[in-house]
A = this chain, B = another copy of it.
Amino acid sequence: MSLLVVGSVAFDAVRTPHGNVDKMLGGSATYFAVAASYFAPVRVVGVVGEDFEERHMRVLLDRGISTEGIERVPGKTFFWSGEYAPNMNDRTTLDTQLNVFATFQPKLPPHYRKSPFLFLANIDPTLQSLVQRQMEAPRLIGGDTMNLWIETTRPALERMLRGLGILVINDSEARLLSGEWNLARAGRAIRSMGPKTVVIKRGDGGASVYEEDHVFMAPALPLESVHDPTGAGDSFAGGFMGYLAASADSDHATPRARMRRAIIYGSVMGSFAVERFGLERLQNLTREEIDDRYSEFRQLTHFD
């Protein structure tokens, strides 16, 4: 089933101990869409400027992604620049230029509105709600958010959360949003705000799912070499939602078993994302590589 994502399409500049890249394709919707494209038909809603070239759009088109919902407007594309600490975990934002994103008002092409699956990547919750309202009977809406919105636009965020089926956030965001340091309690508190399912990402600590009477914990792959963590969380969300969309009508698995597999596929896509700079690794995968890595996760966690 098709999966619509709304979020940023951007250029990134990244400095890591492994090297620097001055300008590469990035953005939450981009990472999400490329990761999800290995599982389900993906549609993107976003905005780019005049500096967004054919070859950038090609990255999405080559993965069979529908780009009809990407508006091109006068001005420059959203630009983000960041530097990772030697531990590859802490990062500093060096520059953020909203550019065309500053006035972005997402408008869904008519046939996008019937997408059964929707993911609201990390943008202003007011815009996320604007998209929610344009949808016609979606089966599942997932979403992400960040510290900025939790701290500055709380009422709008709470409205958005009430219409969300699954919230996918990282541990520090979950703690900030819930006021609970303990993640099991944070998961419960966030579920009371709307989402039936809370997925908490912990970087190299893996990811957990909290649902009513159901908890699942997945590790991160113990990679000895991480080249660029940019986009790992969005790639995780793409693999996760992509698998849920692809398996929606599968009657071979219980909802819990599907949810668990989705988390592992998310972890698989996140692990590929960090192996190279930007989208380099993520855009050139085979289904076999994905399934092999899925098996690695089983090897990593299985006991009897």
Contacts and interface: CB of A to CB of B under 8 A. Distances in A.
B217 A222 contact: yes
Contacts of A261: 303-304
B182 A226 contact: yes
Given A202-B205, A303-B216, A223 B184 contact: yes
A98 interface: no
A162 interface: no
A207 to B, nearest CB: 10
A206 B216 contact: no
A219 B217 contact: yes
Given A206-B217, A219-B219, A181 B303 contact: no
Identical chains in the assembly: 2
Interface string A170-192: 00000000000111110110000
Nearest to A181: B87
A301 interface: yes
A89 interface: yes
Given A202-B205, A218-B301, A218-B303, 8 more contacts: A88-B182, A182-B224, A184-B222, A184-B223, A205-B206, A215-B222, A216-B301, A264-B303
Contacts of A298: 303
Interface string A279-304: 00000000000000000001011111
Contacts of A86: 181
Contacts of A217: 206, 219, 222, 300-301
A102 interface: no
Nearest to A205: B205
A222 B184 CA distance: 6
Which residue, of A202, A206, A216, has the highest number of chain B Cβ atoms within 10 A? A216
A204 interface: yes
Contacts of A226: 182
Contacts of A88: 181-182
B215 A185 contact: no
A183 B303 contact: no
Given A208-B222, A222-B208, A224-B188, A216 B300 contact: yes
Contacts of A224: 182, 184-185, 188
**Most B Cβ at <10 Å: residue of A89, A182, A183:** A182
A83 to B, nearest CB: 16
A202 B222 CA distance: 14
Given A206-B217, A217-B219, A222-B215, A257 B303 contact: yes
Interface in A247-302: 257, 260-261, 263-264, 298, 300-302
